[in-house]
Amino acid sequence: MANTKQTRRALLAGVLGLVVCAAMLIGTTFAWFTDSVTSGRNTIVAGNLDVELEYATVVDTQAGTLSEWKTVQDATDLFADGLWEPGYAQVVYLRVSNLGSLALKYQLSMNILSETAGVNVDGQTFNLSDELQYGAVLNQSVPFANRDVAIDAVTSPVALSTAYTSGEMHLAANAEPQYLALVVYMPKTVGNEANYRGDVVPTIELGVNLLATQDTVEEDSFDN
């Protein structure tokens, strides 16, 4: 009887040992190497389109200095008051800056907001805009030496009555500002057809406009 109990105890101990070994074996068989990677903080930033058009006028032609740059927005003194006669010219200097984070392309234009016609010495009605010419001179950041130099710099002048729009110009984000000069003048060939008589003085009110749109140089996952 004692032998039987000892045998049972030995058998039970053996079975428990087998169970423990099996559990250890199962745990070892199904073990996996593990690792993990976590990204850093990813920020999505919106792009913005922001263009600034500023103007300056001549302070001292001899010294080649301009007035401080001021925004064109709502400005009414781009062109000074003057008496227009053959050979007379006025120049406004412009600066275009890209203040946004996106590349842009722009076009500059001038338009007549209002005009008062006059009557010349021959009794004929005329518009001053038909007798004046103008054009843009690119990359002009310093004053012209004199009016003749300014007039000669205009390579393709048109009558002021003709709607003017510059060619398409490009300005990358963080790029240096671009400069240009608008030259308005009365050719020396103009005669009495613009010599007014009477109480009504021929006048013109001009507007300068800049239209900017996003340039197609930014890239996404597909193309620009």
* pLDDT value at residue 97: 93
When comparing pLDDT for 60 and 206, which is higher?
Answer: 206
Q: Confidence band (pLDDT; 50, 70, 90) for 133?
A: very high
pLDDT digits 0-9 by tens, 199-218: 899 988 888 888 888 888 87
Whole-model pTM over 0.85: no
Share of the chain above pLDDT 70, in %: 79
* pLDDT value at residue 168: 87
* pLDDT value at residue 74: 85
Map the chain to HEC letters. Answer: CHHHHHHHHHHHHHHHHHHHHHHHHHHHHCCCCCCCCCCCCCCCCCCCCCEEEEEECEEECCCCEECCCEECCCCCCCCCCCCCCCCCEEEEEEEEEECCCCCEEEEEEEEEEEEECEEECCCCEECHHHHCEEEEEECCCCCCCCHHHHHHHCCCCEECCCCEECCCEEECCCCCCEEEEEEEECCCCCCHHHCEECCCCCEEEEEEEEEEEECCCCCCCCCC
What mean pLDDT is predicted for residues 181-206? Answer: 91
Does residue 30 carry a pLDDT above 60? no
Q: Confidence band (pLDDT; 50, 70, 90) for 18?
A: low
pLDDT digits 0-9 by tens, 71-118: 988 888 887 777 889 999 989 999 999 999 889 998 888 888 889 999
